[in-house]
């Protein structure tokens, strides 16, 4: 997939103090707010979902990134803004095939935490089910608010089968438990997921992911990609800071559901007399001139289930992952291209 309590809660003395406590997750404590509080109230979360959906639809209809720029951030924001920019270039009159996105039947999974940013997960039903509705899916949208005067922005989106949404660990008040970036009770700490994923794609190590089209399958596709007269190079980089920080929630099995980001480059080099193909999206985001090489830059967000570390308190056996991280969804998007 209720927010800030307001500055009125603070005493006059605390209100004058601005304290920034930066952690591995990018968490910031502002104006001395150290109390552990729910990330959002339900009406606030519902309004954030509506504001995002309205802005998204307006931007998609006009192919105008400015119309939802203040409602997206992180990897979702980078992908959304680049995609709209590209499509506007070759569709200056807007999206003639626009169909409004509907996100309803929402359940809000709200963690308690101290300081900022605060966040929550909206587990929603959409009107964009795949296979003509044969596959029932849920759209999981993460909303983040960076401070008491900031807007709620959607930072992550994942689409998963309804049966793939895990049960979250909740307290007696129904609030979820956030996972710390360096949690050593998990098979892989959230802060290490991006580096683990990009390292695995580059050289197969660490081998901490279950086989899937986005892990072992993608490595194999890269290895076997062949085209006469062309060579391919791939570079993968972790993406973990600020708006791209991982966010996770504890699940009932002792593991966690975690969103994280990464960056990927694909360089295609042509032999003499040949030229890499440039499609409309690439052309719209291109800098330089494509003569013999083309480098595509993509940002990707991933949703994974991380099992508990073997022997960790509260862990359960028989999760079916063999102690490895299971990829639930990957959302990549072209954000830039460079020709040489």
In this predicted structure, the answer to whether residue 10 has a pLDDT above a threshold of 60 is no
Q: For residue 134, what are its two tokens?
A: 């044969």
Read off the pLDDT of each residue in 98-112 and give the average, rounded to a whole number. Answer: 97
Q: For residue 21, what are its two tokens?
A: 């406590």
**pLDDT at residue 256, rounded to an integer:** 98
Whole-model pTM: value is 0.87
Model confidence over 159-179: pLDDT tens digits?
999 998 999 999 999 999 999
Confidence of residue 12 (pLDDT cuts 50, 70, 90): very low
CATH topology of domain 1-165: Nuclear Transport Factor 2; Chain: A, (3.10.450)
| Residue 65 to residues 71, 111, 280, 301, Cα–Cα distance (Å) | 10, 30, 17, 19
**pLDDT at residue 28, rounded to an integer:** 44
The mean-pLDDT minimum among 131-140, 217-226, 243-252, 279-288 falls in 131-140
Model confidence over 214-242: pLDDT tens digits?
999 999 999 999 899 999 999 999 999 99
Contact by Cβ (8 Å): 249, 123: no
Q: Which residue has the higher pLDDT, 16 or 134?
A: 134
Task: Report the percent of the chain where pLDDT is more than 70.
Answer: 85
**pLDDT at residue 316, rounded to an integer:** 54
What 8-state DSSP symbol labels residue 132? G
Confidence of residue 133 (pLDDT cuts 50, 70, 90): low
In this predicted structure, the answer to whether residue 121 has a pLDDT above a threshold of 60 is yes
Residue with tokens 């699940």: 251
Report how far residue 240's alpha carbon sits from residue 237's, in angstroms, rounded to the nearest whole number. 10
The mean-pLDDT minimum among 26-35, 280-289, 319-328 falls in 26-35
- Exposure of 12 by Cβ count < 10 A (0-12 exposed, 13-18 middle, 19+ buried)? exposed
CB atoms within 10 A of CB 230: 17
Contact by Cβ (8 Å): 268, 276: yes
Domain with CATH 3.10.450 in the chain: 1-165
| Residue 85 to residues 41, 102, 177, Cα–Cα distance (Å) | 34, 22, 37
Model confidence over 176-211: pLDDT tens digits?
999 999 999 999 999 999 999 999 999 999 999 999
In this predicted structure, the answer to whether residue 115 has a pLDDT above a threshold of 70 is yes
């Amino acid at each position: 997939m209720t927010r800030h309590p307001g500055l009125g809660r603070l005493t006059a003395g605390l209100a004058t103090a601005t304290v920034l406590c930066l952690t591995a997750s990018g968490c910031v404590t502002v104006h001395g707010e150290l109390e552990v509080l729910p990330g959002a109230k339900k009406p606030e979360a519902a309004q954030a979902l509506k504001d995002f959906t309205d802005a998204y639809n307006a931007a998609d209809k006009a192919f105008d990134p400015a119309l939802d720029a203040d409602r997206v951030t992180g990897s979702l924001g980078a992908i959304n803004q680049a995609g709209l920019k590209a499509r506007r270039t070759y569709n200056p009159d807007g999206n003639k095939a626009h169909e409004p996105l509907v996100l309803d039947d929402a359940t809000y999974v709200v963690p308690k935490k101290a300081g900022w940013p605060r966040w929550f997960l909206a587990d929603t039903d959409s009107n964009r089910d795949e296979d003509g509705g044969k596959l029932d899916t849920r759209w999981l949208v993460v909303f983040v608010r960076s401070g008491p005067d900031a807007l709620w922005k959607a930072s992550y989106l994942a689409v998963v089968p309804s049966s793939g949404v895990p049960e979250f660990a909740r307290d007696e008040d129904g609030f979820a438990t956030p996972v710390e970036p360096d949690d050593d009770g998990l098979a892989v700490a959230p802060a290490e997921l991006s580096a683990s994923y990009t390292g695995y794609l580059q050289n197969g190590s660490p081998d901490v992911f279950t086989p899937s089209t986005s892990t072992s399958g993608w490595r194999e596709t890269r290895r076997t990609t062949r085209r006469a007269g062309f060579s391919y190079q791939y570079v993968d980089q972790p993406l973990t800071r600020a708006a791209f920080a991982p966010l996770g929630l504890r699940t009932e099995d002792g593991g966690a559901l975690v969103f994280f980001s990464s960056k990927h480059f694909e360089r295609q080099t042509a032999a003499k007399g040949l030229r890499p193909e440039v499609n409309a999206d690439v052309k719209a985001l291109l800098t330089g001139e494509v003569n013999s090489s083309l480098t595509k830059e993509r940002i990707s967000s991933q949703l994974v289930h991380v099992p508990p570390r073997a022997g960790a308190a509260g862990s359960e056996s028989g999760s079916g992952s063999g102690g490895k991280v299971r990829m639930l969804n990957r959302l990549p998007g072209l954000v830039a291209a460079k020709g040489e």
